[in-house]
Amino acid sequence: MGVRRSLRAVLGGLVVSAGLIGPAAQANPINGGVEAPTPDVFSNYYHPANRAGAYPGVGAQLYVSPRPVPARVGHTWVTYPPFMPHEFLYQHKRRYIRCSGATGMRTDVRAYWW
Amino acid sequence: MLTSKFILCGRILMAAIVVVSVMEAVQAGGHHATEKRYFLRGRNKSWHSGWYNPAAGRPVPLVVPPTAEFVSEYSWGVPSSRVMPLYPQYRKPFPGPGYVPGERRLMPTPDQPSDTVQFGIHAIRGPWGTY
């Protein structure tokens, strides 16, 4: 009887922890109420190289780094995206929402640029 | 008394509906429509012209706020200025090759420039967000 009760308790604990961990594993940031993929700290912004009439086309990138390099090459990245300089070009606000682990809680950050 | 309150609430509700629909009609897509139009019209356009900046050896992009819509260009003669829509904008992801060959070669800034385009510095709007 005692074994069966402890087994039931363990199973119940497994179900509860799966329910808490499951949503946290799929946590996505929400930008303006729309879920978006997690921002990549290794990424940059580009303009494609389109030909200017008969003249050749040259591409452009917003930041000097990071460049699209192989994984074995050293990288430079921005650890805090709200401080990226292009965010200060215009007045706007954004909401960053992250699930904080298996506790079921979440971190809600409201960022304002003005 | 109850009936008059009911009628008053109904009128307020109708007024709110009318105000909201009029605001939507005035906006008519607004910001998002402009963004889509700029994206579609600037898809296959180049951000630079046939001139390059001799100091850099290539056309130089000038980052401007994404809220910018037009760019002014000045020249000698008539017309001495023109206002052009500013389509190019920095985006993700990496678009591939950074150079596409053309039939002619890019020209350096002439000794006596007659147009601001010849300086090889062209505006590109910054990205909207982190995504």
> Is the pLDDT reported for residue A54 higher than 70?
yes
Residue A26, token pair as written in the block: 């799929």
A94: chain B residues, CB-CB within 8 Å? 129-130
For B45-62, letters b (16+ CB in 10 Å) and e give ebbbbbbbbeeeebbbbe
Pairwise CB contact (< 8 Å): A46 & B91: yes
B67: chain A residues, CB-CB within 8 Å? 89-90
Pairwise CB contact (< 8 Å): A59 & B95: yes
Beta carbons of A49 and A58 less than 8 angstroms apart:
yes
pLDDT computed for residue A46 by the predictor: 92
Mean pLDDT of B42-59: 94
Pairwise CB contact (< 8 Å): A54 & B96: no
| Confidence band of A19 (pLDDT split at 50, 70, 90) | very low
The alpha carbon of A45 is separated from its chain's Cα centroid by a whole number of angstroms, namely 16
Please report which helix (H) or strand (E) contains residue A34, including its range.
strand A34-35
| Confidence band of B103 (pLDDT split at 50, 70, 90) | very high
pLDDT computed for residue A63 by the predictor: 86
| Confidence band of B65 (pLDDT split at 50, 70, 90) | very high
Beta carbons of B88 and A50 less than 8 angstroms apart:
no
pLDDT computed for residue A34 by the predictor: 47
pLDDT computed for residue A16 by the predictor: 41
ipTM over 0.95: no
pLDDT computed for residue B27 by the predictor: 54
Q: Which residues of A touch B (CB under 8 A)?
A: 31, 36-37, 39, 43-62, 68, 81-82, 84, 86-87, 89-90, 94
Whether the model clears a pTM of 0.90, i.e. scores above it, the answer is no
Distance CA B129, CA B131 (A): 6
For B52, the closest chain A residue by CA position comes to A58
Q: How many CA atoms lie within 13 A of B5 on its CB side?
A: 2
Please report which helix (H) or strand (E) contains residue B79, including its range.
none
The string of pLDDT tens digits covering residues A25-37 is 444 444 444 444 5
Pairwise CB contact (< 8 Å): A51 & B100: yes
